[in-house]
Structure 1
Amino acid sequence: MGGPSASDNYAGVYEGRLQPGSRPALLIVDVVVAYLTEGSALFMETAAAAKDANRRLALAARAAGVPVVFTNVQYKPDGSDGGVFYRKAPVLKAFVEGSPLGAFPDDLTPQPGDRVFTKQYPSAFFGTDLANALHADGIDTLLITGYSTSGCVRASALDAMQYGFVPLVVREACADRHPAPHEANLFDLQAKYAEVISEAEALAVIAAHPA
């Protein structure tokens, strides 16, 4: 006999809701060629559709004056700056300095005025100056997108909350290797740490909160 559904199990326990603040930014996590290139060990079938959503969000954000922030991943040739993460996931050699797989796709590249933070670990905040930069700019809300939902997006959303930003994870603009971890992590993020919103809702946040 089956037990209660996940929604039933969480009902009455994790039902809090967060509202956007007054100054959002768009955080695009690791939307790079490795995830978009067939034959790459990191290729994800859903990455292209998520990239298109990110492109639309970036265009809207720039038009509204909402800051756009990109992250990418890069390692020394020997991976020594990747620590245990690099040892655990040797596939990260795709991001050794100079690898074309670490580049931004041609149709979603940082533009003048955008910011780029290069990282070595899952969270966009760990080992970077991202939190200080956002706080200095008065940012209080992050629209979070990118690859992968269960990895760097989740880690970045969790740290965003811990640094005091309202995390809004945009469903259509995230992707993962398989639908099961994608959906499970969106469910858990919504329950405990963030608001999971649609692309349309994200566009509305951008339109309502121009810089």
Structure 2
Amino acid sequence: MAHADDYKNRSYGEIPVGTGFKPGIVVVDFQIGFTDAQYPLGGAPLVMRALENTAKLLKVARACGVPVANCNTAYMNEREMPYWKITAVRETFRRDHPSVAFDERIYDPDYDLTVCKKGPSIFFGTDVSDYFTKERVDTVIVTGCNTSGCIRASSIDSFSHRYRTLVPEDCVGDIEEQPHRDNLRDLGRRYVDVVDLQTTLDYIQSWHQSQTRKAS
């Protein structure tokens, strides 16, 4: 019989990811379809909490010069879509539908790299990794929704691209709390450091101060 501490006993989660030389932030799917309750997938409390906290994070990050990649999910028609099992995605995530617009609380079109992704990960089939390579980013902070889907996929792709990866728990959200907690626990055992907004802000501000000292 498995025990609650079996993962720990087998060394899972023993080594922290830590931070590197430069942070970058990915903002995954904070589009109106997830943040406006008039739409079938919109307005989940954990997602709205994550939206508010990510807006705070991005205000500081942009002021400090941290690269930001922001994405939505949209398709020209159902033929272009993968085989989504979610009716609301198939019916509303069309490029001419108002639900695919970026929520203005987290979006700065004059600052952010903007991509439209077609699968769960912000890295899959986009130029986000190329942008971060050009910007010399080695530490990726993952924000957005949903934790059990696109956040998990983006975090694993970030890990696979060899980035140090941080996921602030209060800057990501899901429809239900249990999958949110379960997926963060599993990601934290294997691939990422699960942190919080304040820890992430402290890291960004410390990084910015170190860059300022080097430049002076």
Tell me the TM-score normalized by structure 2.
0.90
Q: Please tell me whether the aligned partners of residues 74 and 95 of structure 2 are also in contact (alpha carbons under 8 angstroms).
A: yes
How big is each residue's C-alpha offset from its partner over 1:58-91, in whole Å with a ceiling of 9 and x where there is no partner?
Answer: 0000111111211111101x2222222x3x3332
Give the distance between the partners of 1:9 and 1:56, measured in 2 at CA: 37
CA shift for structure 1 position 163:
0.5
Query: Is residue 2:202 matched to residue 1:204?
Result: yes
The one-letter amino acid paired with 1:174 is V
Q: Please tell me whether the aligned partners of residues 147 and 174 of structure 1 are also in contact (alpha carbons under 8 angstroms).
A: yes
- Name the SS for the 2:104 alignment partner: coil
- Which of the residues 8, 32, 37 maps onto 1:11? 8
The one-letter amino acid paired with 1:27 is V
- Name the SS for the 1:209 alignment partner: helix
Query: Is residue 2:72 matched to residue 1:72?
Result: yes
The one-letter amino acid paired with 2:101 is A
Coordinate RMSD, CA, aligned? 1.5
Equivalent residue for 1:168? 166
The one-letter amino acid paired with 2:29 is D
Instruction: Write the mapping of 1:84-163 to structure 2, written as runs, cut at 5 A.
Output: 84=83, 86=84, 88-93=85-90, 94-163=92-161
CA shift for structure 1 position 141:
0.6
How big is each residue's C-alpha offset from its partner over 1:120-176, in whole Å with a ceiling of 9 and x where there is no partner?
Answer: 100111111111221121110111010000000110000001001111001001110
Q: Please tell me whether the aligned partners of residues 122 and 155 of structure 1 are also in contact (alpha carbons under 8 angstroms).
A: yes
Equivalent residue for 1:38? 37
Structure 2 unaligned runs (5+)? 212-216
CA shift for structure 1 position 3:
5.9
The one-letter amino acid paired with 1:60 is V
The one-letter amino acid paired with 2:202 is A
Aligned length: 205
Q: Please tell me whether the aligned partners of residues 110 and 116 of structure 1 are also in contact (alpha carbons under 8 angstroms).
A: no
Which segments of structure 1 move beyond 6 Å, counting only runs of 4 or more?
A: none
- Name the SS for the 1:46 alignment partner: helix
Aligned-pair identity in percent equals: 29
The one-letter amino acid paired with 2:57 is L
Give the distance between the partners of 2:137 and 2:21, measured in 1 at CA: 8
Structure 1 window deviating more from structure 2 (32-41 vs 16-25): it is 32-41
Equivalent residue for 1:52? 52
CA shift for structure 1 position 113:
2.1
Equivalent residue for 2:28? 29
Structure 1 window deviating more from structure 2 (35-44 vs 23-32): it is 35-44
Tell me the TM-score normalized by structure 1.
0.92
- Name the SS for the 2:81 alignment partner: helix
